[in-house]
Structure 1
Amino acid sequence: MLECERRGRKSRGGKRVLPFAFKGVTSVDLNYLREFKELAQTLNYAKAASRLYITQSTLSKHINALERELGCRLLDRDRRKVELTEAGRRFAAASMTIIDTFDRMQEELGALEQQEPLRVDGVLYDNTLSSIFSVATMLLESAGLPPVDYSHKAEKDCLDLLMEDEIDIAFSSVSPQECEEAGFVTIPMTRTRFVGLMSKNHPLASRKFLTIDALRDTCLLKFADTYSINGWTIIEQRCKDRGFTPTSRTVLGRNQNNYVTTPVGENEVSILSSNIPQMRFLSEVAPVVALPFTDEDAFFPLYAIYKRDKEEKVRAVMDVYRQARDMVVHRED
C-alpha cells in the first residue's frame, strides 16, 4: 500500500483517495511543480538544481515542502540514488499536465492580449499627428492588425497613464531624458516649427522672421492646461539656453482648439505650432501677424512613448506609425 494512500481518506465505496487535493492550493508555488518535474525527469538533485539555476539545498527544501503539503512521500532517497515512489510517479504526471496547461493558457492569453486594441493618449490633435493616425488606421486595417483606441483623458498626465497601464502608447513632448529616467522608450515622431502670433501693433510685427533671442523684452502667453504644459517647458528651455528666463502671462482654461483665438496684448507673443490650419488665414480675419522663427531649435518635438515591458505588444503598431510618419512627412516636405 502506498504511504500516501495510508494517509488518505476513504470514499463512500471504501477505497482510499490520494490526497492530491492540496490543503491550501494558493500555498503551493507553481515553480515548485516545475522543480519537481525537472527532478522527476533527471532523478538527480545536482543535475536538476543546475538546470533550474538554484542550489541543491533550495531544491531539497522545496521538494520537502511539496511532500508536506501533499501529505505523502514523492521520492525515495539514499546516498546512491533517487527514485520516484508510486505517488511520485502519479504526481509527476499530474504536475506535467498542470504545467503544460498553464503554459498553454499563458500563450493563449498573450495572443488574446495582442488582439485587443492598443490604447493611445497624449497630444492627439496635433495636425501632423492627426494625419499620421489617419494613414496608420488604413495601414493597420489592410495588414489585418487590431485597431487603435484613441481616448484622450485630459484629467490625467499621459505618463501617469502609461505608468499605471491605463494606456499603451503616449504621444508627448516630454524630454527623452525624463522618459528614460522613468523607464520609458521614446521614439521621435515629428518636429513642428515655432510660429510667433502677435498683434499688428507689436514692436516685432514689422519683421519677416523672429528669433528666440528677440523675445527678451516681450511677454509670452503661457497656456496652463495639461495639454500644452510640455510645450511651454520647451519654449522656456529654449529661452534659458540663450541666457534669459521669459516673462509670461498665464492663460487658464484653454485647449488645443482655441489657442489661436486667445487675444494677445500689444507687447505679447503667443508661440504656437506652425501646422495649426487656422494659422494660414488668421491674419486676414484678425489684427494679428504670424511670424516664423529662424532658430534651428525653434520647434516642438513629439515622441511616441511606451513602457519597456510593452515593447513586444506595441511593436507592430509602432512599425505602422513609422511607416505612416514617413509618408506624411515626405508629403508635407
Structure 2
Amino acid sequence: MIANYTYLAEFLVAAESSNLAEAAQRLHISPAAMSKHLAALESDLGCTLLERDRHTFRLTEAGQAVYEAGSPLLAIGPQVEKAAQQANPFRILVLFDSKDIHQLLTRTLRALYSQDKNLNIMLVENSDSRNPFTSVAEGDIGLVVHQAVSNQPVPKQLQSNRIATISFVAIMRASHPLANRKSLYIEDLRNWPLIRLEGNFQLLDHMWNAVRDDCLAAGFQPTSHLQHIYHPAGGGLIDVAEDEIYILPDGSQNMATFRDDPTFACLPIDDMRHDAFATFNPKSARAQQFAAVLEQQAEASASASDKADR
C-alpha cells in the first residue's frame, strides 16, 4: 500500500531522468532526500524499483511496471485518500434521554445511509469531563444533540440548528394530591419538592437546568431534593417519595417503567416544552449534511403532528 503519493510522483520524475541528482534538481529537493523518499516507496510496495550504482540507475522489472501504471495510480490516489477519510466514523453525542430524539436520529440515519452508503456513523456516550461543545470544536465529535444549556457555552465558530421540540412529564406517586389531574402547569410545581438527580452524566444537569429555568420564568425558585440515581436490579426506577415530583422528557427510556407501575401517575406539563438543537462545526460538510437532514425530519414530523391534531 502506498503511504505517500508524493513519493510516487517523485519516482516517475526519477524514471524519466538520467540519474537521481538530475531528478532531485528537477524536484527542487536534495539527492539525499530523493534517495530516502524512493527507499520509503520501495518499502511501502515491498519491492525494489531501482538498481543503483554510483552515477546512474536503471529500472527493475517491478520498477518498470510501477512506472507504466504510475499516472493512473496518481489519479486514483486522492480518491483513495478521500474514501479513507469518509470511512472514519462520524461521532454523534446525544444529551437527551428521549424517545422522540432517538426516533428522529434513527430516521436521519436511514435517510443519510440511503444517500451515502459509505457514511460511517457512531453514537457515543459523554464520558469526557470536558464541555462537549469543545469536543465538537476540536473535531473529536461531529455533532451534539442537546437542549439549550446556559452553563455549557457554545464556541462562536460552531453552529446550532433547532431540530425538534420536546415536552415534559411529571412523575409522582399515585397517592400524591396532584395525581388525579389530567395534566399540570409549571405553576402547579411551586409548592412541591422536585427531585434533582446527581451523577456523572451531564444529561442530569441539562434536564435540571431546563426545569429550573421554567420555574424561575414563572416567578418562583423550585424546591429541590438532591438524590443519587437509584438503579435496582432490572428496574432502574428513581426512588420517589410521597410528596416529591420527578420530571422527565416525554418519551424517555425510563418513562415506560413508570407508566406500567400503577403506584405512579405520569402527567404532561402543558407549558413546559423545550427545543432540541444540533450543534456542529459548519466547516464540516458531513456535519452540515447530517444537521440538514435532521431539520428536514423534524419539519416532516411537526407537519404530520399538526395534520393529526386537526
- The offset of 1:205, in angstroms, is 2.1
Aligned positions of 1:144-223 closer than 5 A: 144-145=116-117, 146-156=119-129, 157-175=131-149, 179-180=153-154, 182-223=156-197
SS at match of 2:283: helix
Gaps of 5+ in 1: 1-11, 26-103
2:247 is matched with which residue? Answer: 271
1:139 aligns with 2:117: no
Please tell me whether the aligned partners of residues 282 and 288 of structure 2 are also in contact (alpha carbons under 8 angstroms): no
Please tell me whether the aligned partners of residues 162 and 295 of structure 2 are also in contact (alpha carbons under 8 angstroms): no
Amino acid at match of 2:174: K
Please tell me whether the aligned partners of residues 223 and 254 of structure 1 are also in contact (alpha carbons under 8 angstroms): no
- The offset of 1:322, in angstroms, is 2.5
Aligned positions of 1:37-56 closer than 5 A: none
Please tell me whether the aligned partners of residues 157 and 281 of structure 2 are also in contact (alpha carbons under 8 angstroms): yes
Please tell me whether the aligned partners of residues 194 and 299 of structure 1 are also in contact (alpha carbons under 8 angstroms): yes
**Equivalents in 1 of 2:83, 2:151: separation in Å?**
33
SS at match of 1:243: coil
Gaps of 5+ in 2: 1-18, 34-75
1:117 aligns with 2:93: no
1:315 is matched with which residue? Answer: 288
1:282 is matched with which residue? Answer: 258
Please tell me whether the aligned partners of residues 122 and 152 of structure 1 are also in contact (alpha carbons under 8 angstroms): yes
Q: TM-score, normalised by structure 1?
A: 0.60
1:21 aligns with 2:37: no
2:224 is matched with which residue? Answer: 248
Match of 1:239 among 208, 211, 215: 215
Change in CA separation of 1:199 and 1:253 when aligned onto 2, cut-off 3 Å: closer
**Equivalents in 2 of 1:301, 1:223: separation in Å?**
22
Amino acid at match of 1:151: V
What is the root-mean-square deviation in Å for CA atoms of aligned residues? 3.8
**Equivalents in 1 of 2:174, 2:189: separation in Å?**
16
SS at match of 1:138: helix
- The offset of 1:175, in angstroms, is 3.7
**Equivalents in 2 of 1:259, 1:323: separation in Å?**
36
Match of 1:304 among 278, 290, 308: 278
Tell me which structure has the larger Cα radius of gyration: 1
SS at match of 1:285: coil
**Equivalents in 1 of 2:112, 2:274: separation in Å?**
27
Amino acid at match of 1:288: F
**Equivalents in 2 of 1:151, 1:176: separation in Å?**
22
Q: TM-score, normalised by structure 2?
A: 0.64
Per-residue CA shift, 1:84-136, capped at 9, x if unaligned? xxxxxxxxxxxxxxxxxxxx988985675345331111236521122122222
Aligned positions of 1:314-333 closer than 5 A: 314-331=287-304
Per-residue CA shift, 1:219-267, capped at 9, x if unaligned? 1111223222111111111111122211111222469xx9972121122
Percent identical residues: 17
**Equivalents in 1 of 2:293, 2:150: separation in Å?**
21
Amino acid at match of 1:189: I
SS at match of 1:194: strand
What is the number of equivalent residue pairs in this alignment? 240
Amino acid at match of 1:214: D
Amino acid at match of 2:227: V
SS at match of 1:320: helix
SS at match of 1:268: coil
Please tell me whether the aligned partners of residues 237 and 258 of structure 2 are also in contact (alpha carbons under 8 angstroms): no
1:224 aligns with 2:198: yes
